[in-house]
Structure 1
Amino acid sequence: MVKMFAETTNQPGQISFHVGRTPVIVQPFFWLITLLLASSYFQEKPQPWPIVTWVLACFGSILLHELGHVWMGSFFGAAGCRILLSGMGGLAVGATRCQFMWQRVLVYLAGPCIQLLLACILFFLFPEEGTGWIISDIFIRQMMLINIVWPVFNLLPIFPLDGGQITREILHGYLPRLGEVISAWSSLIIAVGVGILVFQATKSIYNALLFGIFAVTNLQRIQNTSHEKGYGDSSWRH
């Protein structure tokens, strides 16, 4: 995701490092959420290795997703990009500072596409028989799962997911005055509908909370646009 929510850095226990020239910050809540998502492993077999490999797979996959945004943005001239991994996922801050709409759309697509490419590579390199080593087989299966589910999820046309950002860019490009409103309403409706379906299927409080946050975010967008005199102002772009 590209700049999903407001940045909150300098948290106690956060980790900072660089991938090439790109600064990366990992906040403690990122590790907590990945552990919560591994709850099924606690219930099935309370063994450490599947949990450790799951956390590593989430970290590597989401970092790769954000690097995809950053690399594409840098290709189009975006400078000063940085990555934040938080409890809400990943942020590629500054990656969409590009001149043209089609460039920003490609930046949003780069994150999901690089993950799907990795999933395809793993599928062809490691067929069903795997490596023969149980820990590496677990890690590879987890990597395949994450790098299929996460990009597909991100391509949902719900702001602030990548799919919602793409929808907003295109609508605003062709309908400067109404694009933001249509994008916000469609994101709200889809977030509520998909959220209900996902909760019924998974019974996950985390999933319900996540889609609830999406719904509230878009409700706030609707309220903000209703107070504006015009929708043609492009100052919201980043």
Structure 2
Amino acid sequence: MNGSYRLGKFADIDVYVHWTFLLLLAWVGGSAIWGGAPIVAAIANIALVICVFGCVLAHEYGHALAARMYGIPTHDITLLPIGGVARLREIPERPREELVVAIAGPAVNVVIAAILAVVLAVLGSTLVPASVIAGTAGVVPFLQSLMMINVMLVAFNLIPAFPMDGGRMLRALLAMKLNRIRATDIAATIGQTLAFGLGFLGLFGNPFLILIAVFVFFGARAEAQHVRSTTLVRDLPVRAAMIAHMQTTHGDDHLMYLRDLLLDGSQQDFPVLDEHDRPIGLIYRNDIVAGLQRGMQHASVHTMMRPVDEVSTGPSDSLRSAMVRLQDNDVPALLVVNGDRLVGLLTRENIAELLIFRETDPEFVPPVTYRHEYVAH
């Protein structure tokens, strides 16, 4: 995520914190001082926020480690002022697995709250000497606050507002009886309805609720669209959406040549071939334009291209997996390579067109034959 700083790697998962988290700490400490509280109280407030986000991080690790049990890795975890985000490679499609992954996060907060409750009970019992209790006078309220915040985190995350944990639990339960698309649509609709409610409550002096409402509303819509698209292509290979007729370039061509290709047609990204017409890479429109803007009209294409092993897929590979690669790498197209032969180009536009046809006819499979149908100069 842009604007995030890496804290380290724990359990083979990179952990990041967004820069706006520092603003939260400054606001918490600053508001206490401006309100007339001593510096010690401001430091205690900051420490409480840090501990809360430690609990949030543990919550996200609950999701990540539960997903790992089902063979799903986590790209990274990012801490934001409104909570944490664990970027799983994918959400489990089996309802029971998704339910376990969704429950695992709040379950961690339940355990933390239970441990804190035990500690507080011990500190409040007659088993602890009075001198020790006197020495922990400032610690007890701190632990009580941390315990109650964990209880609130559990309650809040159980709200069935998709894509929050409660919404994912709801989707998983619905998917045990309905198909995944229908279950997602229902959970997303409920989530967006609740988002309106949260946003309305936020208008009465709690901007934090408005932020959460925006996150839930747009997150629910994005998740519903993602599930619909990936489900519609789950049984298709890459060759079902690729284009086999395309313009290509060679590694020793100049960017000037690609400028002319961009102006002459609708193709935006170009496979790069060697002298034997074997694919060696792919150059994207953004890279072409950036090079031209820097006055690199005579630069060789191979100096600007992405290597073939980074941007290629096979014609028989899963189209859904290829879509995930396009999204994760934030690129508009992938080469389709069979052995050392270029057989096609997979673009976001062609996938979008295929999805339109599959929406109206879920059984539609385009007839695909591929040969040396690309146009090389």
Range class of TM-score, shorter chain: 0.7 to 0.9
Alignment correspondent of 1:112: 106
Inter-partner Cα distance in structure 2 for 1:221 and 1:111: 19
In 1, distance between residues paired with 2:52 and 2:79?
11
Unaligned runs of 5+ in 2: 125-132, 235-319, 325-377
Q: Larger deviation: 50-59 or 102-111?
A: 50-59
Distance 1:146 1:44 in 2: 24
Q: How does 1:10-49 map to 2 (within 5 A)?
A: 11=3, 14-33=5-24, 36=27, 41-42=32-33, 43=35, 45-47=37-39, 48-49=42-43
Other-structure match for 2:81? 87
Match of 1:215 in 2: 217
Q: Normalization by structure 2: what TM-score?
A: 0.51
Letter in 1 for 2:154: P
Provide the residue aligned with 2:369 in structure 1: none
Compute the RMSD of aligned alpha carbons.
3.4
- Secondary structure of 1:160's aligned partner: coil
Pairwise CA distance, 1:110: 0.6
Q: How does 1:115-126 map to 2 (within 5 A)?
A: 115-126=109-120
Q: Displacement, 1:162? A: 0.6
Query: Is residue 2:190 matched to residue 1:196?
Result: no
Cα distance change, pair 221–85 in 1 and its aligned pair in 2 (3 A): closer
Partner SS, residue 73 of structure 2:
coil
Structure 1 alignment gaps of length 5 or more: 1-7
Amino acid at match of 1:208: I
**2-side partners of 1:82 and 1:23: how far apart?**
5
Give the length in aligned residue pairs: 224
Q: Does 1:157 align with 2:148?
A: no
Please state how far the C-alpha of 1:44 moved relative to its aligned partner. 6.8
Could you give the per-residue CA deviations for residues 88-120 of structure 1, whole angstroms, max 9, x where no partner exists? 321122175546321121111111111111101
Larger radius of gyration: 2
Structure 1 equivalent of residue 172 of structure 2: 169
Which of 185, 197, 202 is residue 181 of structure 1 equivalent to?
185
TM-score (norm. length: structure 1): 0.76
Structure having the larger proportion of residues in strand: 2
Higher RCO, 1 or 2 (CA under 8 Å, sep at least 6)?
1
- Percent identity, please: 23
What is the CA-CA distance between 1:211 and the residue it aligns to?
1.6
Secondary structure of 1:126's counterpart equals: helix
What's the secondary structure of 2:79's corresponding residue?
A: strand
Tell me which amino acid in the other structure corresponds to 2:45.
I
Counterpart check, 1:148 vs 2:139: no
Question: Is 1:206 matched up with 2:208?
Answer: yes
Q: Distance in 1 between the 2:223 and 2:190 partners?
A: 11
With over 3 angstroms needed to count, the CA separation of the structure-2 counterparts of 1:169 and 1:27, relative to structure 1, is same
